[in-house]
Structure 1
Amino acid sequence: MLNLNQVAQQITALGQHFYQEAQGRAAKLHLAGHYLAQAQGQDTEFSECLAAHENQLRFTPAWPATPLTERVTIPPAPVQHRVMATDGSQIAPSHHEIAFCYLINVGRVRLDYGSNIYPLLDSVAEVFYTQAEVYAAQAWGITPEEWMRHKRTQLEILQLVELALEKPVNVPTVLMLDGSLIHWAWETLPTMARQVLLEPILQAWGRLETAKIPIVGYLSACRSSETLNYLRLQACPYPLPRCQDHCPAPTRPPCQIFTGLQDPGLWSTQLSSGQRGPLWQSRARILVDYGQQRIFFCYFHVGSEVVRVEFPRWVAEDQTLLTQALSLTIAQVIKGYGYPVALAEAHNQAVVRSADRARFFALLERELIKAGLKQVAPSPKESRKRQSIA
């Protein structure tokens, strides 16, 4: 039980601490705006410098794909359009339960506007229980719990693509995922594991490219600093940004001046509501495995906040598709009073509540007994936790 008397004594100091941090962020934002103004017009020079010395940097900057001065006001969405989204949840494997298995539940949403097509709101569940499935990645040193999270990410994307291609309609459409299309967590995985996860995704995106259906990753409260890292080149005191030569670890580099600041803070000072900023190409190491499906992004002021919107290369290079994707995205934010309706509903369809979990294990217990197993019960620890009087 939480002792609020103890907490209350620390709140005053906490408030002062965050006030001081806010003051520091304001000063860093002013400096970032100054460096952005200086960098405008030097995009080509900086890109050539990055291309020559990228492997020697200790940080990962994004590359501008359009001029830094670019500000584009996104037009309203057409009356008739379609939005689809997926999100996932799971029942994690536990050695304390009656069987070591896991379940992934993907919520699916299809919303058609300006037509008489009923919305689709459902979920697709899949149980993984065989040795080959549960311990699929053990040879790579990946735990079943970690592999389950990676599989959930993969299934969210694959289910979304299948939903989009199941019953296509000739109206402007966008597919939405909550979170990044850049799977940063997969960078450290063994090569074979990355291939198993990525190849089906890249093939699915290829099908979307053929069908000309854009897909976006929507990042609310984004904590990325890739564009700020680009501005660190302005702050480098050396003629060439060779970090490994001039600032070897653990030396603190003199260009590290934006600590505690994220990209949305900078772009909130640069964009008006309904505007997107320049397009950027991410240089995350994992994207080497993406081949032609490289990820681009922009910061987009949707009214309630500045969000990061990511999309594959073929969307970034098609202005019609890009504008379509962004206009439908902001329409979703407006309808959802600050957050896309489709993503919120996909989450609601995906979530596995405690009652769902209890019914799942009750069904599993019944089937195990029916199959002839005698001792079917959770561990004493799990049993005691469920009977706690606290």
Structure 2
Amino acid sequence: MAIPKAVTDKLVHQESRIMGLEARIDQDGCLIAALQTSEARLQHEIDDLDNENTQLLQKLQSVEAVLDQQTRDIDRLFSLLEQKSSAQVPPDADKTKNRTAVRKLFLLAMGLGKKGSTLKDAALLKPSTAGGGYICDTEASNGKLLHPDWNVTFADNSVWHSRTVKWMRQNMKTQFPAAMIDKKSDDAILDQLSTVFRNIVQAYNILQKESKAKKNANDPTVPEDDGDLPAENEMPDDAPARRAGRHKSRKTRKCDERIMVLQKAGIQLHHHYVFFLQPAYQSTDESDQSDVIDPDTDTEKADEVPAPSTRKPWKTRTPLYCADEASEAFNQEVATIERYVLNYRVEQERKNGPAQSAPHPRIPGDWKDTPLPRLGATKLRILRPCIHAEWLADNEDQDVPTRIQEEEVESQGVERADEDADDERD
């Protein structure tokens, strides 16, 4: 039986269609394979990026940790620098200003509120009772006038402490801002008050010794010190000039020795204190007794024979303008230099035997109220922070550019240039 042509045509058509579908299936299979390959490649790239991101995150955390450590190190370094600065450099202007304000109020409580009143004026006040106290003086103080007792310690003057602190707090508005008054405790006020008290006691002790020396000089019943000293009316006319020259030569020798020791030790003096390596700023070594030449320690005249047995020690008197905690760092620097000098002497004696001319013995003496050296424009002068703040306030005539260096000068070594200082009172 013959197959109809229509059926065969339909079968051929279906076969062609099937073959076309198979071709499309093959194409789709290739496309799927290509997509799978691309997906695998993208997944690999994603994994690489993920790993790189993880590494970058770890590096970031490491850098942050390093930065945190460096920040802590920098903070610690600044803290150490501030501590070192506070140890070497005197208190800041605010602290000095506060202490000056307390000094003014302290003087005001004693009835010394007039401009120009000094610590010496306060030292002349006599205590009302042992330990000090308030006396009645209606005209000067409305019946409340403080007279401390300079013969005893600040602690032994405690009878008037609380009343004075209370009075000062009530009157502080004339010297301090209100916000600062609230922050200042009674203990802080009392501590600054004790500092001013000690400064006045120093002035009081100097006045007492000067008064005693004058009284003994004018009293014919007072025996001479050792029989070898000339009477006051027999003192040579050139004695003051000789004494000043003797003191200056001792200062020069002391300064040269300190410079030599620092150079041998390779020590660079802090640039705040380079001015100190000049004779004018050395302490005074005195052999005088009541302003009379002591023949036991002065051999400038041929007919004055020194005592053969012992040499009387010189009294080393530090300038009063350095007698304050504001110049504590400067005084510590001087003490350090002196230790180097003593160690050098011991080393030289151990190496070469006792020196033929041993240094003259010295003992500490009282503070010496002497002016600031007046130097030429090219010379280094003392820095303001190294000066006793209360002393400078009481000696306003010393606050001039020829005596005080306003700007710090970098150290150029320890060599000393010759100077033409005008010491005025040595």
| Pair in the same fold by TM > 0.5 | no
Instruction: Give the TM-score, by structure 1 length.
Output: 0.22
**More helix as a share of residues:** 2
Larger Rg: 2
More strand by share: 1
- TM-score, normalised via structure 2 length: 0.21
State the structure with bigger RCO (CA 8 A, min sep 6), 1 or 2. 1
